[in-house]
Amino acid sequence: MKSSLYPAQDLHRRVLVWALKLKVNPRRVRVQAMRRKWGSCSSAGTVTLAIDLLDQDTRFQDYVIVHELLHLRYATHGRMFKALMSAHVPGWRAMAARQISAA
Ligand SMILES: [Zn+2]
């Protein structure tokens, strides 16, 4: 695939592909600067991803995307949440500690 002129749009597209796969329906997806977290999910269904994810590998991007999208179904990191993480992003636990730079 050709690299895109609009990497943030690629991230967006990735979220939509995962949303279909996970059968969840985010109301809104935003990619923006975030200082402390790679992503968030509001109870109103807005998924926000850190623009800094564009500098990370796609596997890590998927980890953050799947994590936030699963919050549309599960509020907490319970047993089902973790089981689905493992099913969709094998090895996710190794990525869980990666910090966003606090620049
Ligand atoms: Zn979480």
Q: What is the DSSP string of 56-76?
A: S-HHHHHHHHHHHHHTTT-SS
Q: What is the pLDDT of residue 6?
A: 81
CA of 5 to the centre of ligand 1 (A): 30
CA of 65 to the centre of ligand 1 (A): 10
CA 31-103-57 angle, 5° bins: 50
- Identify the CATH number of the domain defined by range 7-89: 3.30.2010.10
**With contact defined as beta carbons under 8 Å apart, do 26 and 46 qualify?**
yes
**With contact defined as beta carbons under 8 Å apart, do 28 and 45 qualify?**
yes
The domain ranges of the chain are 7-89
Total-model pTM: 0.91
CA of 4 to the centre of ligand 1 (A): 29
Helices (H), the chain: 7-22, 58-70, 79-88
User: What stretch of H or E contains 41?
Assistant: strand 39-41
CA of 68 to the centre of ligand 1 (A): 6
Q: What is the pLDDT of residue 101?
A: 73
- pLDDT tens track, the chain, 103 positions: 455 678 889 999 999 999 999 999 999 999 999 999 999 999 999 999 999 999 999 999 999 999 999 999 999 999 999 999 999 999 999 999 998 875 4
How are beta strands 28-32 and 46-50 bridged, if at all?
parallel
Q: What is the pLDDT of residue 76?
A: 95
